[in-house]
Amino acid sequence: MRELLIVVDMQNDFLTGALGTPEGQAVLPGVTALARDWAGELVFTRDTHTSDYLNTQEGKNLPVVHCVQGTEGWQLAPELDALAKERGCKVFDKPAFGSTQLAHWAAMEHAREPFARISLVGVCTDICVLSNALLLKAALPEVPVRVYGSLCAGVSPASHTRALEAMQVCQVEVV
């Protein structure tokens, strides 16, 4: 059986842009190394908004324009973008925290050829990593879902830790 690695939202705006954090920047080398060495299936997600972001529910609750499709901030970090293109990886553009499209695709792929495990890394632990891990766990309850905690970064160190704890309670393995 194969293994799937999902690199969540490692985009410029979450690293050095509008919502960038030192913690996000700090995990980039490790995420890149894991993705580069990954022998199984590798996919990426991109937080994707339009120019009317501030008029959306998310934009009203987080009024920081970020990851507008086609902008530099929306692009994956250069080293990950190059890897995704080199390997022809699937990239899921998601308009919300979690991607139902990703969960559906994973379920269809699992039916075709089972996954032994699904792993996630990326940002933000407490928003998009958490949302996608739980969607995948709901879509594929018998497939082990793992999050590399040291290769994720949250909005803050405290919320990162809380998110990892919440995922563990939901039977997501945190390593």
CA distances to 2, 42, 100, 116, 144 from 106, rounded to whole Å, are: 12, 11, 10, 12, 13
CA distances to 86, 128, 129, 140, 146 from 134, rounded to whole Å, are: 29, 10, 9, 10, 11
Q: pTM above 0.75? A: yes
pLDDT digits (tens, 9 = 90+) for 39-84: 999 999 999 999 999 999 999 999 999 999 999 999 999 999 999 9
User: How far from the centroid of its chain's Cα atoms is residue 168's Cα?
Assistant: 17
Supply the range of the domain harboring residue 166.
2-46+76-174
Residue 141 lies in a domain: yes
pLDDT digits (tens, 9 = 90+) for 88-137: 999 999 999 999 999 999 999 999 999 999 999 999 999 999 999 999 99
Q: How many domains does the chain have?
A: 1
Residue 62 lies in a domain: no
Which tokens sit at 104? 């559906």
Residue 70 lies in a domain: no
Q: Say if residue 1's pLDDT is above 90.
A: no
Residue 66 lies in a domain: no
